[in-house]
C-alpha cells in the first residue's frame, strides 16, 4: 500500500507495515558525528576513522586516537556506532601505512591489507577503540575494510577479541567477500556492504572516473546480485547485513536493498528523511517484489525503470 511521502525523519526507520530498518549515518570526525546526531540518526553505520588522520605523516598515538574516537562515540549514548578500522590506501593514502610506489593502488595494499606490513598499527588502533568504548555509553561495533577472504575475517575477529571488542564484523566491498558471505559470517558478527567499492571492483571501473559513471552504478544488476549473495550468507548464519555505501542514500535503491534483506542503511545525514519517507510508504512485500525485479533486470537502466514504475510514491 502506498501512502503520501512527508519529508521528516522521526528517528525510526520502518516500512509501511512496520518492518524495522535502522537508518544510520556515515561520519568522519566528531563534527560530522554531532551533525548526524542532530539529524536524528539512529546511530552510526560507518565511522571512517582514516578521515581523522588524513594529513598525518606519522601514526597518531593510542591516546590521541582514543580521544578522537571518544568524541564521536559520546554523541551516541546507548546507540550503535560502527567504527571502521583505517581504510588507508587507494584514494586515501596515509603515509604511515601505505606505499606510494604502487602502480595500481586500488588493487594494492589498502584497508585491512595494510595490517600485513604494519600489524602494530591495527593493534594500536584496536587498543584506542577499546579505550574510547570503555569511556562512553555507545554500543561499539568494529569492522574491517577490504576483507577478501575467510581467513582475513577470522584473523580480524580474533584481533578484536584480544582487545575485548566483541562485536567484530567485516565490510563486504570486494566481490570475493560477497560470494563467501556464508563462511565469512560464520566468523564475523555482521557485514556491512560498501557499495562504492563493491561496484568499483565488480564492474572493474574506477569509482573516481566520471567517464565510467555508467559502469560505476550500484543499480548494475551484477552488483545487486552480489548484494543478494551477501544477504543470503547473512540469513544462513543469522547475522545482520547492512549497507553503508552511497547506494543507501538513494530512496528507490534503499527499497531494493531492504527487499534483498538488508537490515540497516547508513548514509549521509541529509539523506535520512527522504529514505525514511519512501520506506514508510512501502510495505515489505513490495520491497521484496521490486528487489526481485531489479535483480532480474539486464541493465542498470532497466533495473531503475522497473523499480521507479513500482514506486509511485517517488512522484
Ligand atoms: C564503500 O566502499 O562503499 C564505502 C562505504 O567505503 P568508502 O567509500 O569509504 O571506501
Ligand atoms: Mg570502501
pTM recorded for the entire structure: 0.96
CB 200 near ligand 1, within 6 Å: no
CB 21 near ligand 1, within 6 Å: no
Binding-site residues sit at 48, 84, 173, 196-197, 207
Q: How far is the CA of 244 from the centre of ligand 2 (A)?
A: 9
Minimum CA distance residue for ligand 1 atom 3: 194
Task: Please report the pLDDT score of residue 7 as a whole number.
Answer: 54
For residue range 108-121, list pLDDT tens digits in order.
999 999 999 999 99
Binding-site residues for phosphoenolpyruvate sit at 48, 84, 196-197, 207
CB 245 near ligand 1, within 6 Å: yes
> Ligand 1, closest atom to CA 194?
3
Q: How far is the CA of 111 from the centre of ligand 2 (A)?
A: 8
Question: Helices in 74-149 by DSSP H: which ranges?
Answer: 114-117, 119-134
> Ligand 1, closest atom to CA 247?
3
Task: Please report the pLDDT score of residue 8 as a whole number.
Answer: 59
Q: How far is the CA of 195 from the centre of ligand 1 (A)?
A: 7
| Predicted complex ipTM exceeds 0.90 | yes
Q: How far is the CA of 313 from the centre of ligand 1 (A)?
A: 29
Please list the ranges in the chain whose pLDDT falls under 50.
1-6
160 is a catalytic site residue: no
Amino acid at each position: 500500500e502506498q501512502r503520501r511521502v512527508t519529508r521528516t525523519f522521526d528517528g525510526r526507520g520502518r516500512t509501511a507495515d512496520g518492518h524495522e530498518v535502522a537508518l544510520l549515518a556515515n561520519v568522519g570526525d566528531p563534527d560530522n558525528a554531532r551533525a548526524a546526531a542532530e539529524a536524528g540518526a539512529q546511530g552510526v553505520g560507518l565511522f571512517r576513522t582514516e578521515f581523522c588522520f588524513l594529513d598525518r605523516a606519522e601514526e597518531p598515538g593510542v591516546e590521541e586516537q582514543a580521544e578522537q574516537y571518544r568524541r564521536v562515540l559520546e554523541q551516541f549514548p546507548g546507540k550503535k556506532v560502527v567504527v571502521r578500522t583505517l581504510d588507508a590506501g587507494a584514494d586515501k593514502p596515509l603515509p604511515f601505512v601505505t606505499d606510494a610506489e604502487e602502480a595500481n593502488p586500488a588493487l594494492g595494499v589498502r584497508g585491512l591489507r595494510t595490517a600485513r606490513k604494519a600489524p602494530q598499527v591495527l593493534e594500536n588502533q584496536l587498543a584506542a577503540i577499546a579505550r574510547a568504548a570503555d569511556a562512553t555509553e555507545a554500543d561499539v561495533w568494529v569492522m574491517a575494510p577490504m576483507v577478501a577472504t575467510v581467513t582475513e575475517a577470522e584473523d580480524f575477529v580474533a584481533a578484536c577479541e584480544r582487545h575485548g571488542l566483541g562485536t567484530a564484523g567485516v565490510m563486504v566491498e570486494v566481490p570475493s567477500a560477497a560470494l563467501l558471505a556464508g563462511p565469512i559470517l560464520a566468523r564475523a558478527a555482521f557485514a556491512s556492504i560498501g557499495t562504492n567499492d563493491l561496484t568499483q571492483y565488480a564492474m572493474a571501473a574506477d569509482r573516481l572516473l566520471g567517464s565510467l559513471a555508467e559502469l560505476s552504478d550500484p543499480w548494475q544488476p551484477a552488483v545487486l546480485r552480489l548484494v543478494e549473495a551477501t544477504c543470503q550468507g547473512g540469513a544462513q548464519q543469522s547475522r545482520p547485513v547492512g549497507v553503508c555505501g552511497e547506494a543507501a542514500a538513494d530512496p528507490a535503491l534503499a527499497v531494493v536493498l531492504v527487499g534483498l534483506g538488508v537490515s540497516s542503511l547508513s548514509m549521509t545525514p541529509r539523506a535520512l528523511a527522504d529514505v525514511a519517507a519512501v520506506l514508510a510508504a512501502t510495505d515489505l512485500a513490495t520491497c521484496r517484489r521490486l528487489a526481485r525485479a531489479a535483480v532480474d533486470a539486464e541493465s542498470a537502466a532497466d533495473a531503475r525503470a522497473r523499480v521507479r514504475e513500482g514506486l509511485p510514491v517517488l512522484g
